[in-house]
Every structure is written in structure tokens, then in C-alpha cells.
Amino acid sequence: MITLSPLADAAPDDVERLLDSAFGTDRHSRTAYRIRAGMAPIADLSLAAWEADRLIGTLQSWPVALHGLEGETPLVLVGPVAVDPDRQQRGIGRLMMDAMLSRAASHPPLVLIGDPEYYGRHFDFTADATAGWKAPGPFEHRRLLARTGGRALPLDGMLGPRRETKTSDLR
């Protein structure tokens, strides 16, 4: 049986091991890591998946923002989403995403860098709003996805850590 808990229940070393096995040890240079540099995960939107006491999945979400002429527009950067390679394709990624999305309504719009084939088809993320956005590193525009929940977002700006983080955003 698979259960979910707050990510804080998992030992940090176990989380790092799982991320290495899903993404490789060179993952720290990825652009998504630069977008949220220095931020702590949003506790309410960061989850661990367990099979008994074995950690088999993690989902982290971070306070970030689009910085532009209109100032700072708060966003939530979702990811990495990782499932133990031995347990992929069994619905665990979807279970974590659905649990995160069920809590996301009270948070700013969501953004991620990931496969549109997965995040579009299953979770309503699209690249429609992000065409004019920039990031502090290389990325493919088709993989920069947002889930706005109908909210209007600036057409351009640079993604980066959120500067005006409010305690209520980090529940």
C-alpha cells in the first residue's frame, strides 16, 4: 500500500538518494535549481510517498516569482517530482501530483520545467502563458509550463527566487 506524508517526514539523505536515482547526480546544475536558489520548500505542497517505511517518491514545491516591469509576481515552482525507478509507471507520480494540486488553490499559480506530454495531458499544465518568460539558465520553451487556474500572468519577466516571501505562503 502507498501512503503520502509531508516531505519533512523523510530523512534528507534519503530524499537526495532518491533524486539522484531518478535524475542523476548532475541534476544540481539544472535551470530549475537556479530559479529557486536559496528558497526552502513550501511545506504544504511538498510530499513524500511511502511503501511501508521505504521512501519511493518525492515532490517538492518552492516559492519563486516572475520578476518584470510590473514588479514581482509570486509563483510556485513544482519539482522535482521523482519516483523510484523500480516503482515508476504505477500511478505514484499521479498520486503525489493530485494531492499537491488539491492543496494548491490557495497558493500562487504553479510553474514547472517538465515534459508537456506528462504534465499537460494529466494535470492541465501548458506553455501558453510562458512564451515570453526567461530563466537563469538554458531551458526548452515547450517544457516551461504553467497552471494558472484562470489567473492572468505577465507576458514577460525573469523567473527567480521570491524576494517578498510571506509566512502564509509557506504553510
Ligand X SMILES: CC(C)(COP(=O)(O)OP(=O)(O)OC[C@H]1O[C@@H](n2cnc3c(N)ncnc32)[C@H](O)[C@@H]1OP(=O)(O)O)[C@@H](O)C(=O)NCCC(=O)NCCS
**56, amino acid identity:** I
CB 157, min distance to ligand X, A: 22
- Name the one range near ligand X by CB under 6 A: 3-11, 64-72, 85-93, 132-140: 85-93
Q: Is omega for the bond preceding 154 within 30 degrees of 0, making it cis?
A: no
From 76, 60, 64, select the one nearest 163 (Cα to Cα): 64
Q: Does 23 interact with ligand X (rule: CB under 6 A)?
A: yes
Binding to ligand X, residues 97-126 (CB under 6 A) = 114-115, 117-118
- Pick 72 or 87: Cβ nearer ligand X: 87
For ligand X, the nearest residue by Cβ is 93
Contacting residues toward ligand X, per CB under 6 A = 22-23, 79-83, 88-94, 114-115, 117-118
